[in-house]
Amino acid sequence: MQARMLREVLSLTGVLSLLLGSGAAQSFNFDPIDGPCSDCSGGIALSTTAYGINPAGDIVGNYNDKAGQHGFLLKDGQFTTIDVPASLVGGSPRTALPTIARGISPDGDIVGSFTAPVNSDPADPLWYCPKAGSTYCIKGFLYRRGKFSLVLYPGQLGTIAQRITPAGGIYGCLHGADMMGSMYGYGMARSGDTSLQSDGGELADPSQSLPASMENGATPDGRIRAGFYTSDFMNPIKAFTHGYVVEDGILRTYDILGPSGPFQTFIWDMNTAGDFVGYYVFSPGRRHGFVQPGNGSAPVTVDYPGAISTSVAGINPGGTIVGQQIDAAGHVHGFVAVPATAN
């Protein structure tokens, strides 16, 4: 898999805008996912989000309890907490760092992000975290065979590892001092057992790249990739988020259209068939999930029953999806949804 930065395809950019399907929508059977919290109301976490799912149905995500933010793995009905130890960045192995598990491969390898503790020592550039809340403090991780390793895009201090392919390639975003202008989507191929190489995808000239972008999914061969970017990000009034799809080196903007024009659109994952998922913003604070079939037919809206907001974050080859929903009381829950036709 080649690691190609988005700047390589900008000259071939087109536009792909699709109206939501008006016919019979695909139906799903939904189940909630809530992290544990012994001292929280109802024994469930303050908030839970499911981010990724593999072909076996293993699910990863994160939850928040009163102690902080934790990653999780839900496998065969068993809920396991995944916390990056501070020893990964030179701290105590007994200290757990805020963790988000974002993607899981067919073999069970997990990628995600964590927040490093403050460390302004220039002698430790990989662990650099100048102050609490800095985007430099957000680092990627790979959890493989019970061992954590650091995932950083070469030459960059801040990296989110979002997805991992069957071959071990990792996709996500890198960032500098902020989460907008200095954020770029990336792809990295595996080199050896745990290390990663960029295959020449360095940011030689950021002005030629697509800023405020995040690469969130790909087919196993990397021929088709997807994510989102924000246009006019320097102007809060005009800033607008678009999905994008790169196929055979050609990038097309992807927008879901409503009655009055395009919605802000976020693509979060893609399966082996090229189906991709995400959400669109109907109004502030109200999201609707969607599934875009790889055959190019109309996207299908996905709303969790009774929820005021739904985001779809992951999809596996069988079409099972995972994500987040906000109930009428404002509580955030994760969910898994199986296509009714699969039963």
Q: What is the pLDDT of residues 158-201, one digit of tens each?
A: 999 999 999 898 999 988 777 677 788 888 876 544 333 333 33
Local confidence band at 41 (pLDDT 50, 70, 90 cut-offs): confident
Closest to 213 (Cα-Cα) out of 12, 7, 1: 7
User: What are the structural domains of the chain?
Assistant: 6-342 (2.120.10.30)
Local confidence band at 126 (pLDDT 50, 70, 90 cut-offs): confident
User: Exposure string (b/e) for 279-303, b if CB count within 10 Å is 16 or more?
Assistant: bbbeeeeebbbbbbbeeeebbbbbb
Cα–Cα distance list, 52 to 11, 97, 271, 273, 316 (Å) = 32, 20, 11, 16, 8
- Mean pLDDT of the region 144-159: 90
- Whole-prediction pTM value? 0.89
Residue 341 CB coordination number (10 Å) = 9
* Residues 260/295, Cβ–Cβ less than 8 Å: no
- Mean pLDDT of the region 64-70: 95
Residues 262-287 pLDDT 10s: 899 999 999 999 999 999 998 777 89
Mean pLDDT across the chain: 84
- Mean pLDDT of the region 76-100: 94
Closest to 190 (Cα-Cα) out of 219, 160, 166, 216: 166
Local confidence band at 14 (pLDDT 50, 70, 90 cut-offs): low
- Mean pLDDT of the region 138-149: 95
Distance in angstroms (rounded) separating the CA atoms of residues 291 and 276: 6
* Residues 82/72, Cβ–Cβ less than 8 Å: yes
Looking at residue 112, what is its pLDDT?
98
In this predicted structure, the answer to whether residue 205 has a pLDDT above a threshold of 90 is no
* Residues 56/77, Cβ–Cβ less than 8 Å: no
- For 10-14, 200-204, 309-313, which range has the lowest pLDDT when averaged over its residues? 200-204
Looking at residue 200, what is its pLDDT?
32
Token representation of residue 113: 């992000």
Looking at residue 20, what is its pLDDT?
62
